[in-house]
């Protein structure tokens, strides 16, 4: 549908999504733009204008974008220009102790669950810190840039875990990994666990509640000055899967994450330390997950690195004749590949060697396109 900028209400919200990707900008001078400092170029923007129950969308070629934005009402034009700048802004590397993780190319985060009941690998490493650490070392050796250690399952119906038990599960593993120089994130919603994990050598806080579950979490992260992953979930209570649905899942989640970024910056967390995760599978139907994946580039307009986690999740089973969790490698790789092609900076996965190989092949193809044009 063609959208006339002159008909847009000054009170509307606009959402810009890179579309029409190019393998290489060579020979397309003035007709492509780049997502951050990565290896993804695009030739158009899909603009969604939200002033009613459902957004109205139109697509604009890059070479026409400035003119199109200038014709919008002042407040909406300002939103659009800010989002274009955010899409283009370089994503700062993550400085994690002695390691620096560059975000100008896709990175793999390996999942290491110290839980008896996680949906995929629950019980695999619980009660054996050395075996868990060895699994983390293996993922790092296979190419995982970051190991994400968690001590509480957040699958639907999982029982809450006392913070003392969660600390006892994760700290011995983190200590072993940190001594070897592995970059580590702590997957937790609890401030006390964050503090203990950071003291043990973790570098990143990965919170499925975006620092809303525990009222002390924001202060812990701000004081630590560490990177933080803000994930969207519809509930910040014990069950993060409870929600009332979405008028439009992508726009609703975008607005929610934008508000969380602003709150974190106001609390003293540096903007360049913030990573966003749209939270696939958390309080979302299969159709919601598919909308997020298909319109993932919308979240680049937040100006933060995107962490994408679809590994072995329910949507993959739903799309593959209810395949059991243990047989979802192909679907997990397809999802990760889609995210990488959309410019996601980090993919969080169970199957590290296979995903790293996928990312290497993607990078080789992209380098070949940039060389040959």
Range of the domain at 48: 5-88
Write out pLDDT tens, residues 243-279: 778 989 999 999 999 999 999 999 999 999 999 999 9
Domain end marker among 27, 54, 88: 88
Write out pLDDT tens, residues 58-84: 999 999 999 999 999 999 999 999 999
Q: Is the distance from CB of 335 to CB of 344 less than 8 angstroms?
A: no
CA distance 283 to 289: 10
Mean pLDDT, consecutive 10-residue segments, the chain of 373 residues? 82 96 94 97 96 76 97 96 98 94 97 74 71 96 98 77 92 97 97 98 98 97 98 85 87 97 98 98 95 98 98 95 94 98 98 98 94 73
CA distance 206 to 227: 9
CA distance 264 to 248: 24
Beta bridge partners of 59: 46
Q: Is the dihedral of CA 224, 230, 235, 240 positive or negative?
A: negative
In this structure, the answer to whether residues 18 and 162 fall within a common structural domain is no
pLDDT of residue 77: 97
In this structure, the answer to whether residues 271 and 349 fall within a common structural domain is yes
pLDDT of residue 52: 52
Beta bridge partners of 33: 42
Sheet holding 146-150, edge to edge: 274-277, 228-231, 204-207, 184-187, 146-150, 107-113, 346-349, 307-308
In this structure, the answer to whether residues 119 and 204 fall within a common structural domain is yes
Instruction: Give the active site residues.
Output: 313, 348
In this structure, the answer to whether residues 76 and 156 fall within a common structural domain is no
Domain end marker among 70, 88, 106: 88
In this structure, the answer to whether residues 50 and 147 fall within a common structural domain is no
Q: Is the distance from CB of 282 to CB of 234 less than 8 angstroms?
A: yes
| Cα dihedral 84/88/90/91 (nearest 10) | 70
Tally of structural domains, the chain: 2
In this structure, the answer to whether residues 11 and 77 fall within a common structural domain is yes
In this structure, the answer to whether residues 274 and 352 fall within a common structural domain is yes
Burial of 192 (0-12, 13-18, 19+ CB in 10 A): middle
Written as one string, the DSSP assignment of 267-279 is TT--GGGEEEE--
In this structure, the answer to whether residues 321 and 190 fall within a common structural domain is yes
Q: Is the distance from CB of 154 to CB of 117 less than 8 angstroms?
A: no
In this structure, the answer to whether residues 52 and 201 fall within a common structural domain is no
In this structure, the answer to whether residues 220 and 165 fall within a common structural domain is yes
pLDDT of residue 282: 93
Angle of helix 352-372 relative to helix 329-341, nearest 10 degrees? 40
Domain end marker among 71, 88, 105: 88
CA distance 209 to 141: 30
pLDDT of residue 239: 78
In this structure, the answer to whether residues 195 and 325 fall within a common structural domain is yes
Q: Is the distance from CB of 228 to CB of 275 less than 8 angstroms?
A: yes
In this structure, the answer to whether residues 301 and 365 fall within a common structural domain is yes
Q: Is the distance from CB of 117 to CB of 155 less than 8 angstroms?
A: yes
Mean pLDDT of the chain: 93
């Amino acid at each position: 549908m063609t959208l006339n900028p002159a008909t847009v209400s000054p009170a509307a919200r606009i959402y810009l999504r890179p579309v029409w990707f190019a393998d290489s900008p060579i020979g397309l001078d003035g007709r492509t733009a780049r997502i951050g400092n990565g290896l993804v170029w695009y030739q158009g923007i899909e603009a969604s204008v939200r002033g009613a129950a459902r957004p109205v969308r139109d697509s604009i070629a890059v070479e026409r974008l400035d003119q199109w934005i200038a014709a919008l009402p002042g407040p909406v034009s300002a939103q659009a220009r800010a989002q274009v700048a955010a899409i283009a802004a370089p994503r700062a590397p993550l400085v994690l102790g002695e390691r620096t993780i560059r975000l100008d190319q896709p990175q793999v985060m390996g999942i290491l669950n110290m839980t008896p009941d996680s949906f995929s690998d629950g019980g695999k490493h619980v009660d054996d810190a050395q075996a868990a650490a060895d699994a983390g070392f293996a993922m790092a050796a296979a190419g995982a840039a970051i190991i994400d250690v968690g001590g509480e399952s957040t699958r639907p119906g999982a029982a809450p875990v006392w913070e003392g038990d969660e600390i006892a599960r994760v700290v011995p593993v983190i200590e072993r990994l940190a001594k070897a120089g592995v970059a580590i994130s702590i997957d937790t919603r609890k401030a006390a666990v964050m503090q203990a994990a950071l003291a043990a050598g973790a570098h990143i806080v990965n919170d499925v509640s975006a620092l809303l579950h525990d009222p002390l979490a924001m202060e812990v992260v701000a004081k630590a000055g560490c990177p933080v992953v803000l994930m969207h979930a519809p509930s910040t209570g014990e069950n993060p899967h409870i929600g009332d649905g979405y008028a439009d899942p992508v726009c609703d989640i975008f607005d929610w994450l934008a508000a969380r970024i602003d709150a974190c910056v106001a609390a003293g967390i540096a903007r360049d330390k913030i990573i966003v995760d749209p939270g696939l599978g958390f309080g979302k139907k299969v159709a919601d997950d598919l909308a997020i994946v298909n319109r993932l580039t919308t979240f680049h307009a937040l100006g933060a690195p995107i962490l994408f986690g679809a590994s072995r999740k329910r949507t993959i089973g739903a799309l593959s004749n209810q395949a059991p969790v243990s047989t979802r490698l192909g679907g997990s790789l397809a999802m990760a590949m889609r995210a990488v092609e959309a410019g996601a900076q980090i993919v969080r996965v169970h199957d590290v060697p296979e995903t790293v190989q996928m990312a290497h092949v993607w990078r080789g193809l992209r380098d070949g396109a940039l060389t040959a044009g």
